[in-house]
Structure 1
Amino acid sequence: MASMMRKVAMSNMLVLVGLTRRTSSRSLTTGKNLAKKARNELPPEGEVTKSVFMSQSTDIYTNLALEDWMYRNMDFSNHHVMMVWRNEPCVVIGRHQNPWLEANVPFLSDKEIALARRHSGGGTVYHDRGNLNITFFTPKERYNRKYNLELIKRALYRGFGIKSVINDRDDIIVQDKYKISGTAAKLGRLTGYHHCTLLVNANKADLSKALAKREHGIQTNATVSTPSPVVNLADMDNKVTVEALQTAIGYEYLRTPALRLDDGGERQILKQRGFQFVNPTDDWFPGLSELKNELGSWDWSFGKTPEFTVSRSFPVPAELLAPSKVYSAAQELVITMTVGKGLIDDVTLNIPPGLVESGFHGEASVITHLKGKRFTSEALEALEDAMLTRRGDVKKLDDKEQFVAKCFDQVVNTI
């Protein structure tokens, strides 16, 4: 075994076994055929082979589409698959999360870092090429995340001497406190997958900024991530690279039987289908681009956000208040919005007396103009247009309107 891994390391290549343009007929069935599968048809462990699929894409939407395509179309009854993949910088949120609450959306926009919503639940993670992402596919009845995490734990120790533990949240922890991996899963009627990410040499500065938490004023029932201290594996041992870790975990997966955590060694490896590069394109996976386009759309990434309410208060500058007036209470503009499916359902402007008496009125026509707009700069543009429209031929907002627009901008563009 050691000689085999040294040979792989020297060539800087992974073993390539049985690479084909299409998934084999033993593995791929149509949805109609999958529906015919019954629980008692699952083969015994000895008849189940394994493959390690290595995605050749580093695009988050392509890789999530590939994961979804395999989940929808492949039959894993007698062929379990571990897919390894990595991405250019991106933030990936869980299926039921709020991106405006979980990610620093303005920072992502400025840095051109993609934001994606996956199909599985769980919390938010940052990916870049210093992360190794792993997805384990099995029939639903044989889904076992503990088995998968133990494989990773064993590979870390066998390959690099790194000791780790699995906590009650199914995170992988090193040095008693640092998280190197989080877990999420999706279970369907026939198929299940468990995926996780491993921090190898990620850009921790960008990770921190991309997931920065601030006071948002958001109330929601969306799933909220639990922050944890993290560490890169490369900081513990500089021999750990994404490629080396991919090889170590891949061999640990292949040397282990499908259902038990026994060490079958080289004999077990030779029974498997090995490592296979996969090219996530429509030629290999018909219909993949359609899945990718859906995952990359605003309607999916932001529009699937559970309903939330955001409320922010802004002190009104003294120069905008009515002159020669003394107010007993602080004069604050309060903006409250209800957002559903990423669109503004309702807006309330609580305008303080000092701003009203100085000439500003939040007319119903202005508020109505915002409903149905995306919770983005699109809403700000609609607000500015509405305020200008009600004043006829005026081409520029006055000082009070500019203040309201600036506050509105802070609500939709700085959370």
Structure 2
Amino acid sequence: MHRGLRRFSSAVSSLPSVLQARSTDIHFNLATESFFIEALKRQTPTLFLWRNAKTIVIGRHQNAWKECDVKQMEGDGVKLARRYSGGGAVYQDHGNTCFTFLGPASSFSKERNNALLLEVLREDFGIRGEVSGRNDLIDSEGKRKFSGAAYRHLGDFSLHHGTVLMDVDMQGLSRYLTPNKLKLQSKGVQSVASRVVNLKNLNKEICHHSLCEALTRRFLSHAPDVPEDQKRVLVLEEASVPFGQDPLFLTHLQRMRDWNWAFGASPSFSHCLEGRVKLGTFEVNMQVEEGLVKDVRVFSDCLYPDLVEELERTLRSARYSGESLKGAVGGLGDWGGREGKMEDQDWKMCIEELGEWLYNETVG
């Protein structure tokens, strides 16, 4: 057993059967779910309810720069998170409710979970829905998707997790999931937009809190396998979760917050930039692997041929982001190869312009 689990096993095993996260930090919530999945493996049916502030969640094998408008996200304070599982990119905000069903595989039923969700919507909110395909829920009248989910069977333990669109900013779907139209080629999976609807459009009274309360009541009343002393709710505060110091949980949390996981885990891709600045016309071809510029070739009619080689050397191994590339080029302001050919101030202005061009043309 993991030594962290030995330390917290009693606290973890006695957790109530319904857990509601107060935090809206996507990284904290994904780490919490991952901790439950990998370490907890409770043999008691459990429901975890949560939601996130504005964020884009991408699949394990997706290219962050191809799926997202990273600069727009940074400007608007939208976080990026990469989940462990596959699938496409999705936008989430406070108008989105996330659910995770956990329990022993011997009595686990995705169909029962879907039936519970649909029953709550019908009985408590007058919204009629149905299952569509393997993992989606749609409204019966308009046939529009309001929930997507995934199911995993892990030995004697299973989980079923997904999202419910309550009052999501539909503008965010296009604002942040529309990549810039650049010469970007990738081996990653490109997301496909679905026809969706907010449940708020079907019932103005529904919200995250009312749905969570209704799901909690229904889950506890339909859970005969849950011991009576665990038929209760625990609100998870980020600063005081019972497993907050568990090494395995902290490992997941650190990874979720790590740039190298969110961006560096993107598939390899190539990017070609073409433009003209005062120094001349530049074509910069970059091969990006694990979020770093692994190789770069620069073609230019610049009057300083040695600068082209120096630019290649400077960009190679740099982190693929506008700020990083701009910073790397900024170091050429003191490049000795231009001595006697241009005044210092004029040279630095040209280098700044080159850096700004790279910043503006880079996807992230």
TM range, smaller chain: 0.7 to 0.9
Q: RMSD of aligned C-alpha atoms?
A: 3.3
Change (3 A) 1:347 1:242: same
- Alignment match of 1:306 (pick from 267, 283, 288): 267
Q: How does 1:238-387 map onto structure 2 within 5 Å? A: 238-256=204-222, 273-281=231-239, 284-285=242-243, 286-287=245-246, 288-314=249-275, 316=276, 333-351=282-300, 355-356=301-302, 363-376=308-321, 377-386=323-332
Q: Give CA deviations for 1:335-373 in whole Å, capped at 9, x if unaligned.
A: 32111111111112233xxx35x5566632321221221
Q: How does 1:102-251 map onto structure 2 within 5 Å? A: 102-139=67-104, 144-168=109-133, 170-174=135-139, 175-185=141-151, 188-189=154-155, 191-251=157-217
Q: Is 1:410 aligned to 2:360, yes or no?
A: yes
Deviation of the 1:141 alpha carbon: 6.1
- Alignment match of 1:52 (pick from 18, 31, 43): 18
Deviation of the 1:84 alpha carbon: 0.2
SS in 2 for 1:227: coil
Q: TM-score, normalised by structure 1?
A: 0.73
Change (3 A) 1:68 1:389: same
Deviation of the 1:378 alpha carbon: 1.0
Q: TM-score, normalised by structure 2?
A: 0.82
Q: Supply the distance in 1 between the matched residues of 2:240 and 2:194 (Cα, whole angstroms).
A: 38
Q: Supply the distance in 1 between the matched residues of 2:126 and 2:299 (Cα, whole angstroms).
A: 60
Q: How does 1:14-25 map onto structure 2 within 5 Å? A: none
Q: Supply the distance in 2 between the matched residues of 1:384 and 1:97 (Cα, whole angstroms).
A: 31
Q: Supply the distance in 1 between the matched residues of 2:349 and 2:200 (Cα, whole angstroms).
A: 54
Q: Supply the distance in 1 between the matched residues of 2:89 and 2:170 (Cα, whole angstroms).
A: 15
Change (3 A) 1:280 1:401: closer
Q: Supply the distance in 1 between the matched residues of 2:227 and 2:174 (Cα, whole angstroms).
A: 39
SS in 1 for 2:74: helix
Q: Is 1:61 aligned to 2:27, yes or no?
A: yes
Q: Supply the distance in 2 between the matched residues of 1:169 and 1:336 (Cα, whole angstroms).
A: 42
How many residues are treated as equivalent by the alignment?
A: 348
Deviation of the 1:249 alpha carbon: 2.4
Change (3 A) 1:189 1:342: farther
Q: Is contact 1:91–1:114 with CA below 8 Å preserved after alignment? A: yes
SS in 1 for 2:17: strand
Q: Supply the distance in 1 between the matched residues of 2:286 and 2:154 (Cα, whole angstroms).
A: 35
Q: Aligned letter for 2:360?
A: Q
5+ residue gaps, structure 1: 1-21, 30-49, 260-267, 322-331
Q: Aligned letter for 2:286?
A: M
5+ residue gaps, structure 2: 1-7
Deviation of the 1:160 alpha carbon: 1.6
Q: Give CA deviations for 1:271-320 in whole Å, capped at 9, x if unaligned.
A: 97243323344650032344323211211211221212223444x48x87
Q: Supply the distance in 2 between the matched residues of 1:213 and 1:188 (Cα, whole angstroms).
A: 35
Q: Supply the distance in 1 between the matched residues of 2:151 and 2:128 (Cα, whole angstroms).
A: 24
Q: Is contact 1:84–1:246 with CA below 8 Å preserved after alignment? A: yes
Give the share of equivalent positions with the same residue, in percent. 26
Q: Supply the distance in 2 between the matched residues of 1:81 and 1:28 (Cα, whole angstroms).
A: 11
SS in 2 for 1:373: coil
Q: Aligned letter for 2:314?
A: H
SS in 1 for 2:13: coil
Q: Supply the distance in 1 between the matched residues of 2:86 and 2:69 (Cα, whole angstroms).
A: 20
Q: Aligned letter for 2:319?
A: R
- Alignment match of 2:335 (pick from 356, 371, 389): 389
Q: Is 1:83 aligned to 2:41, yes or no?
A: no
Q: Supply the distance in 2 between the matched residues of 1:337 and 1:142 (Cα, whole angstroms).
A: 52
Q: Supply the distance in 2 between the matched residues of 1:147 and 1:390 (Cα, whole angstroms).
A: 71
SS in 2 for 1:391: helix
Q: Supply the distance in 2 between the matched residues of 1:194 and 1:380 (Cα, whole angstroms).
A: 44
Q: Aligned letter for 2:294?
A: D
Q: 1:27 — aligned with what?
A: 13
Deviation of the 1:133 alpha carbon: 0.8
Q: Aligned letter for 1:411?
A: E
Q: Is contact 2:96–2:167 with CA below 8 Å preserved after alignment? A: yes
Change (3 A) 1:230 1:65: same
Deviation of the 1:211 alpha carbon: 2.0
Deviation of the 1:188 alpha carbon: 4.2
Q: Is contact 1:309–1:337 with CA below 8 Å preserved after alignment? A: yes
Deviation of the 1:142 alpha carbon: 5.8
Q: Give CA deviations for 1:236-263 in whole Å, capped at 9, x if unaligned.
A: 110111111112223333343579xxxx
